């Protein structure tokens, strides 16, 4: 014979057992797919809303509206800055307009224009 099957009976019986087992698995899967297709389509399951913040903890603290930047490297004297000022340095100490009296106003963000409004 000129085929790819083994010539002895023992190996042919092994292949027959394997093929019968595999055919049972295929028929079981066919039946499951037919049952699934026979059912009416279902609405997709609702998914959980993504968290608004990462699970690692709260986000960075919001900068204060006004703040004092202490004198140090790059800051020649204690200055008042707006919270969004790029020249304020790494840390602003929150302060209100009433408590900021006497401190120099930043030349970049000019908070004195807002402090001295009539």
Question: Given a cut of 80, is residue 10 above it in pLDDT?
Answer: yes
H helix intervals, 5-116 = 9-38, 112-115
Q: Looking at residues 8-34, what average pLDDT do you find?
A: 95
- CA–CA gap between residue 102 and residue 116 (Å, rounded): 13
Residue-wise pLDDT tens digits, 27-42: 999 999 999 999 887 7
For range 82-91, the mean pLDDT: 75
- Nearest 5°: the CA angle 14, 19, 25 is 130
Is 50 part of a structural domain of the chain? no
Whether 45 is in a domain gets the answer: no
Question: Distance (Å, rounded) from C-alpha 50 to C-alpha 66?
Answer: 34
Q: How many domains does the chain have?
A: 2
Residue range of the domain that includes 71: 66-115
Q: Is residue 30 part of a domain?
A: yes
């Amino acid at each position: 014979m000129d085929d790819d099957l083994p010539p002895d009976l023992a190996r042919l019986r092994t292949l027959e057992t394997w093929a019968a087992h595999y055919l049972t698995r295929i028929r079981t899967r066919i039946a499951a797919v037919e049952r699934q297709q026979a059912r009416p389509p279902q609405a997709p399951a609702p998914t959980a809303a993504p968290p608004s913040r990462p699970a690692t903890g709260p986000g960075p603290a919001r900068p204060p509206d006004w703040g004092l930047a202490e004198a140090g490297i790059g800051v020649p004297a204690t200055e008042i800055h707006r919270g969004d000022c790029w020249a304020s340095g790494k840390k602003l100490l929150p302060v209100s307009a009433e408590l900021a009296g006497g401190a120099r106003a930043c030349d970049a963000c000019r908070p004195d224009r807002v402090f001295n409004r009539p």
